[in-house]
Chains A and B, each alone.
Chain A
Amino acid sequence: MTDDRLPLTVLGGWLGAGKTTWLRHQLRTGPKAHVLVNEAAGVAVDDALLQAAAGVAVLAGGCVCCEGQGGLVAALRHIVDRRSAGEPIPPLILETSGLADPAAILLLLDGDPILSRHIRLTEVVVLVDALNGAADLTTDALAVRQIRAASRLILTKTDAAPPLATARLVATLLALNPAAQVEAAVAGLAVPLPDLKADPLPLGTGLRPVTAVTLPLPPGVDWAVLSLWLSALIHVHGDRLIRIKGVIRTPAGRLLLQTVRQQVQPPEILPEGLGRDDHLAVIGEAPDVAALTASLARFLG
């Protein structure tokens, strides 16, 4: 069955990271999009800058990941109602406030009985200010949560930052979220990242670095049991095991499985030969391969 749900991109990033500037450029040069802008403050200004969008809705007076959740759900339900009535609606982009945790928005969408049937999250893009991002990251836990929730990280203002500082920031971002794709853009235009090697910045207290490990799967592992085990694992440890990725052999073919915390993206069937199907990549705060292997073995019996 084809997935005809309305695609949604969540655009996040710290206050002043350049979200609106980047979005403005994408709207002028890229495909049409319907934009929702969330401002934590009571007065909206960003919508005035986004005239190129096919439609703009402003959600002011509260961040949509917490006290403004009702406003976001109402706005999205209104959009899907119009689409169900036959109105063509281009893909959605939600520009979050600088204080939003994108992961909370994903949980909100997934938990809503109407929105989960009508909206499909395609990407979480998080912008990082190359000038100030490093300071935010080493001091603010929310800035780190934004980085960890991203599937694509875009450094902004790299033209004004020293290349070595940018390289250190890239290394820090990859230490926090090794699964993300990292790019750079100046005023919305993609630019290359500096080709320099650098060490990540020391992280603030209480922040644990994220490491990636490979969990070998026994040959011919049973998908019915493996999926049961994974559902238990992410229910209990999803906050710590941020991402689990792998190709798994099932009766219907080879499935690409990807989790983000407690969320699991709808698995896709992959053609034969694409990707190895004998291991899972587990990315999180110090995943223990021996404990994971022993736990899976208990389930497999």
Chain B
Amino acid sequence: MCSACGYPSRPGHWTEAGLDTAHDRLRARFMRAEVLARVLRHYGLTAHDDGVGEGFTLSTLTGASVIVTDPAQLWPTVERLAGRPYDPLL
């Protein structure tokens, strides 16, 4: 519930479950940015999370960048920046 407007909060994204402490959340952020940077290299993308503020940065090699704050938008954003579909099985 938002204390200012009384509007109930949207249930968190499922990937945020299981990370209750600030330490666990921060560790997961760094870990995910590291993995993304590795698996997206072949797509000409890089990922960086400075651990401050909301979300992390996805950038192309030519300098275009997007701050991803909603985990549900991560893969659609990857595909948009890469200009082609992403497939984890390939």
Contacts and interface: CB of A to CB of B under 8 A. Distances in A.
A117 B17 contact: no
A197 interface: no
Given A232-B88, A301-B38, A267 B20 contact: no
* Residue among B74, B86, B88 with the highest chain A CB neighbour number at 10 A: B88
Nearest to A237: B89
A225 to B, nearest CB: 5
B11 to A, nearest CB: 6
Contacts of B14: 227, 257, 264-267
B8 A251 contact: no
Given A224-B32, A229-B88, A251-B24, A117 B10 contact: yes
A228 B18 contact: no
A250 B39 CA distance: 22
Contacts of A236: 75, 85-89
A78 interface: no
A201 interface: no
B44 interface: no
A140 interface: no
Interface string A1-20: 00101000000000000000
Interface string B17-28: 111110010011
Interface size of B as a range: 20 to 34
Given A229-B88, A236-B85, A255 B35 contact: no
B62 interface: no
Interface string A202-238: 0000000000000000000011110111011101110
B3 interface: no
Contacts, number: 91
Nearest to B32: A228
Interface in A268-301: 269, 288, 291-292, 295, 298-301
Nearest to B87: A236
B10 A116 contact: yes
Given A229-B88, A232-B88, A250 B71 contact: no
Interface residues of A, number: 39
A262 to B, nearest CB: 10
A225 B19 CA distance: 12
Contacts of A228: 15, 32, 35-36
Contact of A266 (B17, B27, B31, B76): B17
A266 B88 contact: no
B29 to A, nearest CB: 8
Contacts of A252: 17-21, 24
Interface in B1-17: 7-11, 14-15, 17
Interface string A109-133: 0000100111000000000000000
Closest 3 CB pairs of A and B: A250-B18, A224-B28, A235-B75
Given A231-B75, A236-B85, A255-B18, 7 more contacts: A113-B10, A117-B9, A232-B86, A233-B89, A264-B14, A291-B89, A292-B89
Interface of A: 3, 5, 113, 116-118, 222-225, 227-229, 231-233, 235-237, 248, 250-253, 255, 257, 264-267, 269, 288, 291-292, 295, 298-301
8 contacts: A116-B10, A229-B88, A232-B75, A235-B86, A236-B75, A251-B18, A298-B39, A299-B35
Interface of B: 7-11, 14-15, 17-21, 24, 27-28, 31-32, 35-36, 38-39, 71, 74-76, 85-89
